[in-house]
Structure 1
């Protein structure tokens, strides 16, 4: 099971807030919680849980079975997402500069 949210700015903030203990924890849902026009939306809710590999069936060996009692959710604001994206961009730039300097 791929965690599609983990590489998004909001997903990275959500995982930092949740601090999952298991490597099998996955975010599986996200959505804006405000009503009204999208321009007024500010907070996104992320939900996740720990999964285990299926023992039988077509998904045998894949993380598809949710472990009971491991569900949790967290809210992330647009400002938190922006800060995470800026931080990620700075890290990416520093890594790119390091790669270039090694090759020069």
Structure 2
């Protein structure tokens, strides 16, 4: 086997692990909601935790962003973009609810 084919196999294995984790973290909340056996707050908590873990899985397995020195610039860029989007969304909601309260 050539080193190139071994790298390709490792990369495919990396993507398959990411896909399996993402699929599991998607199907688990759907199953909990469909089953309906838990209290509403427990289901919401589990769904929120699965969503946060899935964000980490997508960063790690599909975007190849980890805590290594060379990838930290990409992580900083993504976190800054998320911060700007959160500020814009929260500011918009603040203005809309303030206007709704004044109507």
TM bucket normalised to smaller:
0.3 to 0.5
The structure carrying a bigger strand percent of its residues is 1
TM (norm. structure 2) is 0.36
TM (norm. structure 1) is 0.36
The structure carrying a bigger helix percent of its residues is 2
